[in-house]
Amino acid sequence: MPMHARLSTPSFLIALIASLLAAPALATPAGWLGEGDKRTPWYDITADQPGPTVLIVGGIHGNEPAGAEAADQIRHWPIAKGRLVVIPRAAPTALEANTRRIPGKPRAEGDLNRNFPRTGDDSDELATVGPTAEALWAFVTDLQPDWILDLHEGFDFNARNSNSVGSSVIHPSAKGTAPYAQAMLDAVNAEVDDEEKIFQNLGRNGPINGSLARATIFHLGAKGAILETTWRDQPMPLRARQHRLMVHALLTELGMAVGHPHTVFPEHPNDNNLAEGAGELPIRIALYQDSGAGDGGVRNLTRIVEAMPDAQLRIVNAADIRGGALDRADAVIFTGGRGGAQGTALGDEGRAAVQSLVERGGGYLGICAGAYLATCRLDQYLRIMNSYHIQPWQTGTGQVTVELTPEGRELFGDLPPTAMRYANGPLLGHEAGNTPGLDLPQFRTLATFKVPVERNDRPQEHMIGKPAIATADYGNGRVLIISPHPESNPDLDWMLQRSIRWTVRRNETPQPEPVHEDA
């Protein structure tokens, strides 16, 4: 039971009042810590109603990126009362290097989470080690938070390996944190089925000596904990989600939470009608990584989107989508893998969320399996494009050549016939009216297969002239699907970037000038 005061007002009315009074999250930093390439932003959400000050810190260890990712999402949360301060990337150079220690620092300074004022030894209790710790500690001392949550990751699950603190809540129970820690554990463990992965309550002595959390608890009188997920065999979206669930549970106990824990993007004024455009605001792009999504496709699309200066990328799983992560997105991307598995993982609620995003003006980019997913043949597909894939689906894997149509040249310019990797992508046929309840416009072909793939040393000539890239409108939004894999070739990154921008009605990505070798 939450420990904040309960009122007799109906819960739905409380939620409505809280949302109206909530302090909106800000997309721009409130300030910076440090200097040069080591400086890092912090964010401040302050409500009109008084309440606790909660500090969220991520990225103290650079090889534990889920905490930084989650904190960067949490900074977009509105709150009902008090103050929420977020430092997503406490050690930015370590995060960029994916190392526990800060690169280039002497060993005594490298592990940032051992460099804060210590307790219970003969050393100078208020001493910090190194400029990064000094700047952080000065900030926290000035802030005087009521709560600190430091987001970390372990290498294994503490439930099965006591040598790791992965998947745990570390807190000093003597400081009154036990009921709050249990609320966080209950929230995250509600989604854990494997007994060996259950989050553990490490509530004895609290965070390790020299850590930011311990220093803030014992020297500044705050309550707090270190929240640990586990990086072994778990994708980033799940680990970030687990952090969000725990943080949201604490904010709920404190009466600060507004809405659900799956808000990962900033709010834009056109969220209810994305077709109106958002000017120069960042393009908020959700990339699916869960059942049915191949790791290679996710890596390639991550590279491509992160190179777009006007884009903000969030990698999400099916549970995130079902929970509302697309409520503030501009576009969603589904990569290669298995389209049926993607649709099954989404479930009815997740598929409806994707449909809603596109219907209100958002963009959909599907590649190979993600292209299948947009079509109509299977019940678990999205049915946002009026097309069936032609059977048999196992056409082959290898190289194909794709040729633009006149409408395709309007989007992609004078791209000559281009070789691309192909791996059993869909061959599209126009839907023949056999799917009840669908009233969708015909899709338009942007490119066709000019040279087919070979299977068992035989060219699959039935591919020639079939759509390789196609588009259609769905509600107010745009769907664009690509059967082959241009994302496998970095020289075609611009093509994917242009596709994304086109689906959300933004400025196109320039096509690179052709390189002419000297004769």
Find residue 473's DSSP bridge partners.
478
Are 504 and 274 in contact by the 8 Å Cβ rule? The answer is yes
Query: For the chain, which residues make up each domain, given as ranges?
Result: 26-253, 274-503
> Can you tell me the distance from the alpha carbon of 22 to that of 78, in angstroms, rounded to the nearest whole number?
6
Instruction: Provide φ and ψ at 202, rounded to 5°.
Output: -100, 75
Q: Which two tokens stand for residue 15?
A: 């939620």
Report DSSP letters for 193-209, one per residue: --GGG--EEE-SS-SPT
Give the torsion sign (CA, 371, 377, 380, 386).
positive
Domain 26-253 has CATH 3.40.630.10: yes
Strands (E), 310-423: 311-316, 331-334, 363-367, 387-389, 397-404, 418-423
**How confident is the model at residue 210, as a pLDDT?**
93
How many C-beta atoms lie closer than 10 Å to residue 414's C-beta? 8
Q: Which two tokens stand for residue 108?
A: 């005594």
* Closest alpha carbon to 368 in 315, 327, 421, 418: 421
**How confident is the model at residue 438, as a pLDDT?**
73
* Length of the chain as a residue count: 519
**How confident is the model at residue 141, as a pLDDT?**
97
* Closest alpha carbon to 250 in 227, 228, 277, 273: 227
* Closest alpha carbon to 222 in 179, 175, 169: 175
**How confident is the model at residue 273, as a pLDDT?**
79
Report in angstroms the alpha-carbon separations of 472 from 59, 290, 374, 386: 41, 25, 10, 8
Residue carrying the six token digits 């990339």 = 287
CATH number for the domain whose boundaries are 274-503: 3.40.50.880
Are 376 and 442 in contact by the 8 Å Cβ rule? The answer is no
**How confident is the model at residue 19, as a pLDDT?**
45
Report DSSP letters for 24-88, one per residue: PP-SS-SEEESSGGG-EEEEEEE-SS---EEEEEE-SSTT-HHHHHHHHHHTT--BSSSEEEEES
490: which DSSP letter? G
pTM: 0.90
> Can you tell me the distance from the alpha carbon of 450 to that of 468, in angstroms, rounded to the nearest whole number?
9
* Closest alpha carbon to 371 in 385, 357, 361, 352: 385
pLDDT per 10-residue tile (average), the chain, 519 residues: 35 41 65 88 96 98 97 97 97 94 87 91 72 94 98 97 97 91 98 97 92 95 97 96 99 96 91 76 96 96 96 98 97 97 98 97 97 93 90 85 96 96 91 62 94 88 93 96 97 97 82 49
Rg (CA), the chain: 25
**How confident is the model at residue 4, as a pLDDT?**
35
Q: Which residues contact 342 (CB under 8 A, 6 or more apart)?
A: 288, 290, 291, 292, 293, 334, 369, 370, 373
* Closest alpha carbon to 312 in 325, 294, 322: 325
- For residue 129, the number of C-alpha atoms closer than 13 Å in the C-beta half-sphere is 22
Q: Which two tokens stand for residue 150?
A: 């430091």
Report DSSP letters for 262-300, one per residue: T--S---TTTT-GGG--TTSPEEEEEE-STTB-HHHHHH
Strands (E), 328-396: 331-334, 363-367, 387-389
> Can you tell me the distance from the alpha carbon of 471 to that of 473, in angstroms, rounded to the nearest whole number?
7
23: which DSSP letter? B
H-state helical runs in 98-177: 107-110, 131-143
**How confident is the model at residue 513, as a pLDDT?**
59
Find residue 425's DSSP bridge partners.
none
* Residue 317: strand, helix, or coil: coil
Domains 26-253 and 274-503 share a fold: no
* Closest alpha carbon to 53 in 81, 72, 31: 81
